Amino acid sequence: MHPLKTSPYDQIGKNLKFYKKYDEALVYFSKSLLIETQNKNLSGMAISENNIATLYEDMDENTDAISHLKKGLQYAQKIDYKLLQTDLLTNLGRLFQKQNNDKEAEKYLLKSEKLCRELDAKSSLKIVCQNLGDLYQKKGKEQLALKYYNEALRISKTTSDPQLSYSINDVLAKLYANKNDFKSAYQFQQASISAKDSLFEIRTQENTENLLRKYEAEKKQQEIKTLTAEKNVQKLQIEVAEKNKKYFIIGSLLLAIIGGMFFYQGRNRKIANKKLQILNTELDKANKNKALFIGILNHDLRSPVASLVNFLKIQKNSPELMDEETRKRLNLQATTSAEKLLKNMEDLLLWSKSQMEKFEVHRKIFAVSELFSDLKNEFSWVEETIIHFQNPENLELNSDKEFLKTILRNLIANSAKILTDKTNGKIVCAAKSTGNTVEISIKDNGGGSDLEKFSALYNDQGKIGIKNGLGLHVIRDLCKAINAEIKVNSDKIIGETEVVVYMRKI
């Protein structure tokens, strides 16, 4: 919202100008001009431009003053406000006189004179005539100057304004003194002094009133400052109290958080110590069991191996000492020892498998081509069977490379074992992607097999042993560790078996 009237701003600006506070006065005159411009009030815009121009004149910035006067004159001419035009034209003439531009000064003053006579504006005409008199006196046209001075004097006698009477009588006194007409100069000087005394009385009264107004204004300003200071103190006290309250709350929260952290850490430490104690107990128990197991295993392995070695030595060194019945008895004994040895080895493998549960998966991104290259080098000893590695999409995986390599190594080794002593044996290890899944398949042409032989890949409760395929159990557990799935397809008619490992991409 904008004020409907600009008079308060104009009055404040004039008061500030009177006390020579030009910068502050310019702010209020500019506010007044802005309001008049927003209201599209051309007369108000012209008056505001005139006020700003006279302010710049007092600041000795005559070029800026002339610019604003010309703008104001344009606004006044648009609405044919002739009385305001006379004021603007007179001010322009006076400013051009100050800049010694007599030609422009004469042009604007004559235009103002014409309008003043049309409007019969006595006070404005007196000022114009006196300015024209000053201009022509400067140019050496004394008769013409005297004509305008006399007319200004005549007009001043018809008004009650001592300022008009003083200024023209003072000018005429100086003019006649320069012409050595001291009698006339004296008369004009006396009239000037009389008008000046009247003007002094008026200005004294005005100054007294202004001083009283200034005192009252300063008194009110001081009261306002005092009240403002008191309010600021109260506000500051409230802010300090609020800050102290916030600091107290924050401090309390911090203490509570720190206390909670100590409590939480202490609780976690107790839990961790308890878990560590349990783990240490389990580790100690496992170490004791391992030592006991190895001791028993050592004792159990020595006996069958010793029996087998003794039988082989007798058969090699003194076969004639054994009759048929002794040979059968020793053969049975050697077979029993070998089976016992096999059973003990199965126990050892089972214990080794149980240690796999302690393995940790270390995932990282790697290229399938690197994996295939490692496997190719590991199976370079296979001569009878051709092994192909296919990776047309140059895939990458985010998994445990060593776990996956162990899975594929076991699968390829199983296929290579089946193809032993067979002609045209071929194994294909291929990688491809389907959606967000990578499939790595191991296919061989070993004649196919019953799917029951691969049950260990799916059944956790299946029978475990060297003769029953411990490697399949290892493959199954490793697949679980890396979140992979495994499926088997076998066709005896076609003579092919395919094992596919499924896992997610990166």
Cα–Cα distance for residue pair 392/389, rounded to 1 Å: 10
pLDDT tens for each residue of 19-51? 889 899 899 989 988 999 998 899 889 999 999
> Is 437 in contact with 502 (CB distance < 8 Å)?
yes
Q: What local confidence, expressed as pLDDT, does residue 357 receive?
A: 56
Sign of the dihedral through C-alpha 454, 457, 458, 463:
positive
Cα–Cα distance for residue pair 268/465, rounded to 1 Å: 43
Specify which residues 489 forms β-bridges with: 498
Angle 295-297-298 (CA atoms, 0-180°, nearest 5)?
65
Sign of the dihedral through C-alpha 470, 471, 474, 475:
negative
> Is 187 in contact with 170 (CB distance < 8 Å)?
no
Q: What local confidence, expressed as pLDDT, does residue 388 receive?
A: 93
- Domain coordinates in residue numbering, the chain: 7-227, 359-504
* 15-46 per-residue burial string, b: 16 or more CB within 10 A, e: under 16: bbbeeeeeeebbebbebbbebbeeeebbebbb
Mean pLDDT computed over every residue of the chain? 79
pLDDT tens for each residue of 101-155? 989 988 999 999 899 989 888 888 888 888 888 888 888 888 888 888 888 878 8
> For the domain 359-504, what is the CATH superfamily, name and number?
Histidine kinase-like ATPase, C-terminal domain (3.30.565.10)
Cα–Cα distance for residue pair 117/100, rounded to 1 Å: 26
Q: What local confidence, expressed as pLDDT, does residue 86 receive?
A: 92
Q: What local confidence, expressed as pLDDT, does residue 189 receive?
A: 72
Report the chain (506 residues): mean pLDDT per 10 consecutive residues.
63 87 90 90 91 91 92 92 91 91 90 90 86 85 84 77 67 71 70 64 55 56 66 83 88 88 86 85 67 51 61 71 74 69 57 57 91 87 82 93 88 86 89 93 89 78 50 81 90 86 84
Which helix (DSSP H) or strand (DSSP E) does residue 358 occupy? none
Cα–Cα distance for residue pair 42/84, rounded to 1 Å: 11
Specify which residues 399 forms β-bridges with: 364
- Report the C-alpha dihedral over residues 85, 87, 93, 95, rounded to 10 degrees: -120
Cα–Cα distance for residue pair 77/298, rounded to 1 Å: 126
Q: What local confidence, expressed as pLDDT, does residue 219 receive?
A: 57
DSSP assignment, residue 216? H
Which of 375, 370, 381, 428 shows the shortest CA–CA distance to 406?
375
Which of 409, 422, 405 shows the shortest CA–CA distance to 371?
405
Q: What is the pTM of this model?
A: 0.39
Burial class, 456, CB count within 10 angstroms (exposed 0-12 / middle 13-18 / buried 19+): buried
DSSP assignment, residue 391? -
> What fold, for 7-227?
1.25.40
